[in-house]
Amino acid sequence: MDESVRLRTATDEDRRAIADLLIYVFNEHATDELRELEKLIIEPGRSMVAEDDGRVVGTAAAQTREMTIPGGVLPTAHVTGVGVSPTHRRRGILTSMMRGQLLEIAEAGREPVAALWASETAIYPRFGYGPASSRLRFDILSREVKITAPAAPPGRLRLVVPAAARAELTAVHDDLRIHRVGWSSRPDYWWQYLLTESDGHRNGATESRGVLYETAEGPVGYALWRVKNDWGAHGPAGEVRVREVVAGNPGVYAELWRFLLSLDLARTASYHYGALDEPLQFIVDEPRKLGRSFQDALWVRLVDLPTALEARRYACPVDAVFEVTDPIIEANNGRWRLTGGPDKASCVRTQDAPDFACSITELGAAYLGGTTLATLHTAGRIEKFTDNLPSTAFTWLRQPSSIEVF
């Protein structure tokens, strides 16, 4: 990094410069509305800036949130808002910020894990982030699929304005997210960010619309979507852009999708945040018409290795020794013994001979139970010294997923 550049923790006065830099580097249309939204999600004390001659030329932030992991919920630094001015690229500013941020998180000792969504997949493995979950993108021919699933429990659909129904949405989301590995808690400012309308977020479609499914117990599911209106040679050709479908009950989940796929004047629907094993695929008569494509989703970094591995649960009994290299967080380096299973886990230093060796990036990739240790070994990313590779133990009930880019 150039000598003229210095890193420091951002203050309130930096909010505007940070918002401007992020809007610029992400090639968004700068409006006052968008600037206010970007300012909203900067947590005091959790953003850093790189400054050159009094100008903010780089920034990186973390949000204080929880993430669901196999068998629990863990405070997880949600790394976001990373950008470097085009005038200062490829001079090591990102590298300094990522190192600085990880060391800060490690020192604070509150978050054993960090997670992010990567704008480009080449950027983060070098900092120890591994590809931990994938997503399915659906481009659905709505009129060519039928939902064949179980009926919903007695109840009704009620249209809502999402921002006005925040309390109900929050309650439904909070009930479900603790059961979905990879889902995150949502601080107030994040709900506000998600539910505030801005031209940038509309992207040529309507405002966000919402529906709740209510039973005698109250709301038990919701869907959020926008419609991109269109007319073609065959008449109506609107696209329903689904933002979220959140429901734990299979019948309610099916009912919400049935509703979204049958909205009048639309012929297609899209949804970009499906789990790899999204139930929708198993409740339609023609899954191929869902137009599935695959993309990476969450990238996970173990910050405090033993605490992170002790915090999760394992699909079957595990007792394995492994050797880890971590180029940034010294305390993670060395040999560890992991023991445990579905009920408890322990991870302690050992001098015993290792069963396998890898870098911290591979453990991040395997942490949520999506990417398997066996796959990483087959890819030559894990060195095996014995047959005791706890690949099955690291998997979990369902594929990890995340329904939001942060």
Instruction: Give me 195's structure tokens.
Output: 């539910």
Among 48, 56, 71, 83, binds ligand ACO (CB under 6 A): 83
Burial class, 374, CB count within 10 angstroms (exposed 0-12 / middle 13-18 / buried 19+): middle
Which residues lie closer than 8 Å to 25 by C-beta, 6 or more apart? 83, 84, 85, 86
Does the annotation flag 83 for ligand binding? Answer: yes
In the complex, the smallest distance separating the C-beta of residue 85 from ligand ACO, rounded to whole angstroms, is: 8
Question: From the CB of 49, what's the least distance to ligand ACO, in Å?
Answer: 13
Give the number of C-alpha atoms closer than 13 A to the C-alpha of residue 239, restricted to the C-beta side.
Answer: 13
385 is catalytic: no
Annotated binding-site residue? 93: yes
Closest approach, Cβ 166 to ligand ACO, in A, equals: 26
The catalytically annotated residue of 253, 356, 367, 406 is 406
Q: How far apart are CA 19 and CA 39, in angstroms?
A: 6
Which residues, other chains included, contact 234 with Cβ-Cβ below 8 Å and sequence gap of 6+? none
Residue 129 CB, nearest approach to ligand ACO (Å)? 9
Q: How many Å apart are CA 70 and CA 399, to the nearest integer?
A: 10
Are residues 251 and 150 in contact, defined by beta-carbon separation less than 8 angstroms?
A: yes
Question: Which is closer to ligand ACO, CB of 120 or CB of 352?
Answer: 120
Phi, psi of 310 (to 5 degrees): -75, -25
The one catalytic residue among 24, 124, 322, 394:
124
Give, as ranges, the residues between 89 and 148 that touch ligand ACO (CB under 6 A): 89-95, 116, 118-120, 122-123
Ordered DSSP codes for 126-177: GGT-EE--EEEEEEEEGGG--B--PPPPS-EEEEE-GGGGHHHHHHHHHHHH
Tell me 256's DSSP state.
Answer: H
Nearer to ligand ACO, 83 or 390 (CB): 83
- The least CB distance from residue 400 to ligand ACO, in Å, is 18
Q: Is 406 a catalytic residue?
A: yes
Q: Please list every residue from 20 through 49 that binds ligand ACO, using CB under 6 A.
A: 25-26
Tokens 């925040």 sit at which residue?
166
Quick check: 402 and 296 in contact, CB under 8 A?
Answer: no
Window 254 to 293, contacts with ligand ACO (CB under 6 A)? none
Which residue number, 24 or 294, has a Cβ lying nearer to ligand ACO?
Answer: 24
| Shortest Cβ 3–ligand ACO spacing (Å) | 15
Closer by beta carbon to ligand ACO, 104 or else 319: 104
85 marked among binding-site residues: no
**Bridge partners for 295 per DSSP:** 135
**Which residue, 86 or 235, has its beta carbon nearer to ligand ACO?**
86
Among 23, 79, 345, 365, binds ligand ACO (CB under 6 A): 79
Between CA 251 and CA 68 the distance in angstroms is 24
Binders of ligand ACO: how many residues, by CB under 6 A? 21
Please enumerate, by residue number, every residue annotated as part of a binding site for acetyl-CoA.
82-84, 90-95, 119-120
Residues identified as active-site: 124, 406
Q: For binding to ligand ACO (CB under 6 A), which residues are involved?
A: 25-26, 79-84, 89-95, 116, 118-120, 122-123
